[in-house]
Amino acid sequence: MNSNFKTFLKGIIDVSPLMIPVVPFGLIFGILAIDIGFSPLATMGMSLIIFGGASQIILLQLFSGGASSLVIISSVGAVNSRHLLYGAVVSEHVSDLKLIWKIIISYFLIDQAFAVSNEYFKKSKEKNKYFHIIGGGFTCWVVWQITTFLGIILGEAIPEKLGLSFAVPLTFLAILVNDFRKMINVIVILVSGLVAIFGYNYIPYKAYVIVAAFAGLFTALILTKIVKKS
């Protein structure tokens, strides 16, 4: 077997266990998008063009709340700022590649693929190791497109009174489960959440998401400094 393909397969195998939570996430996205009134085509378009679960769900949430386009786009940017960190970590492993490969890898640089490929990159010395993240990212891409499509079909059938929009805060809550045990994270979570609730009606243009995020990050900045000093 060709060694590029072997690395690609290894990426698929490594990322597979992380695909289980992506399934309900994709279904919920498809169902809600239809619920809010996006066409099936636009819903599919979001998954193809944006290809980012948190970004797409924030887009739905703010769009249905009547936020302006500028606020939606900057909130999506704020949610994505964690990818700057992923890119910074991955860049040293892919710095010699052609631009086209960097573009492909960037499109596939999502949480799950980053998590497993970062571990692989640390161990592997092979030149073609970047095929690992392409395998992982591609797997997630396929799962995301299929579950979005199934969600669109389900969305036409599921009654609104089931209150499935409550699945949005639950999915985000689920992403944070590992952070609940760390003191600084818990404080940051509370600061951001409280600013969002109390700012919801007073911060113009539905920019409460961005204001709350900055309040949370500022808290993290201060707390991590204090902890280091003591």
CB of 1 to other proteins, least distance (A): 28
- Among 21, 162, 47, 163, residue whose Cα is nearest residue 60: 47
Looking at this protein, which amino acid is placed at residue 108? F
Q: How far is CA 13 from the centre of its chain?
A: 21
Segment near other proteins (CB under 8 A), from 7-15, 52-60, 118-126, 144-152? 52-60
Looking at this protein, which amino acid is placed at residue 134? I
Q: How far is CA 224 from CA 84, 103, 184, 229, in A?
A: 20, 34, 8, 9
Candidate residues 9, 94, 115, 153; the one interacting with other proteins per rule CB under 8 A: 94
Quick one: 1 or 202, whose CB is closer to other proteins? 202
Looking at this protein, which amino acid is placed at residue 165? S
Quick one: 15 or 58, whose CB is closer to other proteins? 58
The dihedral of CA 28, 29, 30, 36: what is its sign? positive
CB of 3 to other proteins, least distance (A): 23
CB of 84 to other proteins, least distance (A): 5
Candidate residues 3, 5, 49, 156; the one interacting with other proteins per rule CB under 8 A: 49
Whole-angstrom distance between the N-terminal and C-terminal Cα of the chain? 55
122 touches other proteins (CB under 8 A): no
Q: Which of the residues 159 through 188 are near other proteins (CB under 8 A)?
A: 162-163, 165-181, 184-185, 188
Candidate residues 4, 40, 64, 87; the one interacting with other proteins per rule CB under 8 A: 87
